[in-house]
């Protein structure tokens, strides 16, 4: 792979794309890398979740194309990276603390399969990446920001991803058993990989990292090493 092909010009901030399946630790790693580089971290999953939250709040059925179109016209999303935290805003309101419930996760994975939603979020994601960012998601290196200077695909065993998700949710005060976390990770894997639009896929020029036996710090250091190779 020729990483130099995408050499960053002097003074230009790089875009780092981190893709991978549910529960692999993309957000944690994105924040670590962003902090070390003085860039912002963008979580695109949180944007899908914010759309899901809006549909739940307004009772819109995402399978009704007209209702969905009208709903999306009324959705304004923003994200800010402050003090090491990614905060997501839905129509001006900080909804970060409402995005991790099982109900929102389920709806997010359903709406992520709808082309209109993906199209709508394309512009939002690109706008948030302007000026350099560490962007995590499922199709960042392939569809959203194919011009990213550094692309990585993080992976880990299903059991390890369920364990990470379980610990993350428990730390946030969400009561979930390990079995529920495992079921959730498996179901979302199937939905994310089998959908027709932008299924989870590794970009051909992404560096594959199996993180099963790595700490988040170790993964971040691997990525920072890659960044140093291409950013002058
Ligand atoms: O990473 P996450 O679990 O917060 O993502 C929520 C849902 O959104 C998940 O089902 C996958 C989907 N998603 C996507 O399809 N494309 C992205 N770039 C980010 C998330």
User: What does the pLDDT read at residue 1?
Assistant: 44
User: Would you say residue 5 lies in a domain?
Assistant: no
With the most atoms of ligand 1 within 8 angstroms of its CB, the residue from 119, 135, 138 to mutate is 138
pLDDT surpasses 90 at 159: yes
Separation in Å, CA 156 to CA 85, 122, 213, 214, 227: 24, 27, 8, 9, 22
What pLDDT, in 10s, does the model give residues 93-125? 999 999 988 899 889 989 999 999 999 999 999
What does the pLDDT average to over 21-38? 95
Provide the token pair at 85. Answer: 């935290």
Q: pLDDT per residue over 38-86, tens digit each? A: 999 999 999 999 999 999 999 999 999 999 999 999 999 999 999 999 9
**Mean pLDDT of the 156-171 span:** 93
| C-alpha 166: how far from chain center | 18
Nearest CA to ligand 1 atom 9: 109
Report the C-alpha gap between 26 and 185 in whole angstroms. 14
Above pLDDT 70, what percent of the chain? 95
- Provide the whole-model pTM: 0.92
Ligand 1 atom 8 nearest Cα: 45
Range of the domain at 220: 12-230
Q: Give how many domains the chain has, as a whole number.
A: 1
- CA–CA gap between residue 113 and residue 110 (Å, rounded): 6
At residue 31, φ and ψ (nearest 5 deg) are: -65, -40
- 111 assigned to some structural domain: yes
Pocket of ligand 1 (CB under 6 A): 22, 44-46, 48-49, 108-109, 112, 137-139, 188, 192
Give domain status of residue 2, yes or no. Answer: no
Q: What is the CATH number of the domain that holds 190?
A: 3.40.50.300
Confidence of residue 190 (pLDDT cuts 50, 70, 90): confident
Residue 8 pLDDT grade (very low, low, confident, very high; cuts 50, 70, 90): low
Q: Hunting for tokens 């950013």 — which residue is that?
A: 231
What is the chain's mean pLDDT, rounded? 92
Q: Which two tokens stand for residue 53?
A: 């939250």
Distance of CA 218 from the midpoint of ligand 1 (Å): 24
> How much is the pLDDT for 24?
95
Strand partners, 154: 209
Question: What number is the average pLDDT over the span 123-132?
Answer: 96
At 94, give phi and psi (nearest 5°). Answer: -75, 110
22 contact partners, CB below 8 Å, separation of at least 6: 161, 165, 184, 185, 188, 189, 192
pLDDT band at 11 (very low <50, low <70, confident <90, very high): low
Residue 156 maps to a domain: yes
CA of 108 to the centre of ligand 1 (A): 7
């Amino acid at each position: 792979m020729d990483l130099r092909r995408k050499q960053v010009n002097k003074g230009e901030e790089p875009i780092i794309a981190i893709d991978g399946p549910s529960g692999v630790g993309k957000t944690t790693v994105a924040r670590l890398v962003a902090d070390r580089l003085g860039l912002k971290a963008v979580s695109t999953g949180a944007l899908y979740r914010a759309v899901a939250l809006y549909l739940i709040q307004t009772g819109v059925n995402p399978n009704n194309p007209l209702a969905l179109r009208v709903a999306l016209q009324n959705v304004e999303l923003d994200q800010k990276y402050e003090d090491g935290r990614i905060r997501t805003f839905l129509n001006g309101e900080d909804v970060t603390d409402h995005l991790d419930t099982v109900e929102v996760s389920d709806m997010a994975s359903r709406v992520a399969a709808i082309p209109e939603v993906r199209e709508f979020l394309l512009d939002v994601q690109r706008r948030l990446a302007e000026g350099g960012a560490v962007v995590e998601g499922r199709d960042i290196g392939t569809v959203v920001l194919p011009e990213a200077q550094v692309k990585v695909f993080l992976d880990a065993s299903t059991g390890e991803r369920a364990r990470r998700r379980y610990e993350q949710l428990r730390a946030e005060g969400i009561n979930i058993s390990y079995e529920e976390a495992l079921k959730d990770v498996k179901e979302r894997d199937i939905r994310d990989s089998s959908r027709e639009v932008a299924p989870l896929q590794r970009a051909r020029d992404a560096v594959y990292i199996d993180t099963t036996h790595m700490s988040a710090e170790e993964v971040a250091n691997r990525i920072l090493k890659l960044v140093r190779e291409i950013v002058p």
